[in-house]
Amino acid sequence: MENLNRYARRTWRSLIASVSLLVLSACSYSTHAPVEQHFQNWATRAPAKNRVTVCSAYGCRVQTDFRFAPSDVAHIRHMMTGAKLATPKPEAERVALAKTLAWMEKRVGDAVGTSADRPGDDLAGGGDPTQMDCVDVATNLTSYLMVLQYNGLLQSHSVSNLVIKEDLTRGLDGWTHFAAVLVEKNSQQRFAVDGWKLPSGVPPEIIEVERWYIPDVKLSF
């Protein structure tokens, strides 16, 4: 019961912070606070260099430390720079990112047990340290992106705070959903990075925030 109460409190705190920063759409919430604020909202730790705290069991109820070893970082660097583009393009970097994030998720999952994660959520997943809801997936992907940023492997993008969308008039199809966010440096276009509906270790979807999950609907007056 205490775990459930703690999960509810974290969810409530996060939603209050997000709703207070409603931006330009009927059901899309974002925050201009530093990305580290998300980790504080969910009472977990932001990455420190190549060390991450892996969230699982729904709502970061289980937290497991993992450190990318020098050999891991070397492999990640090879994946990100293997194309050796003379003039890196944002689109090419996003393709490399999706594949690299999939490898990182599998590497971590094999070590901490989350490779057994089932796509999406189910009633049996809450409290199970091998399972992840959208908060866990979005938090972990954000951590992996911050590791890439720390190692200088993001040339065309930067890591931003998470995006949250909901449209509860659609029932379960519009339930509150979280995603990691990349910002393209030149255009300032934001991209949602989301692997929640995919098996662990599969390249996540990287799509414009406005088109992700529920397409933004402009408020009309």
Task: Count how many domains the chain has.
Answer: 1
Structural domain contains residue 62 = yes
Residue 157 has pLDDT above 90, yes or no: yes
Structural domain contains residue 219 = no
Structural domain contains residue 38 = yes
Structural domain contains residue 178 = yes
What pLDDT does residue 30 have? 63
CA dihedral for 130, 133, 139, 142, sign (positive or negative): positive
DSSP helix/strand/coil, 19: helix
CA distances from 170 to 64, 167, 173, 174 (A): 35, 6, 6, 5
Beta bridge partners of 182: 159, 191
CA distances from 120 to 15, 58, 125, 133, 155 (A): 20, 11, 10, 7, 31
Residue 136 has pLDDT above 80, yes or no: yes
Structural domain contains residue 220 = no
Residue 60 has pLDDT above 60, yes or no: yes
What phi, psi does 91 have (nearest 5°)?
Answer: -65, -45
What pLDDT does residue 12 have? 47
Residue 190 has pLDDT above 60, yes or no: yes
Domain residue limits at 60: 2-211
Structural domain contains residue 205 = yes
Q: What is the pTM of this model?
A: 0.84
Summarised one tens digit per residue, pLDDT across range 191-206 is 999 999 999 899 999 9
Structural domain contains residue 146 = yes
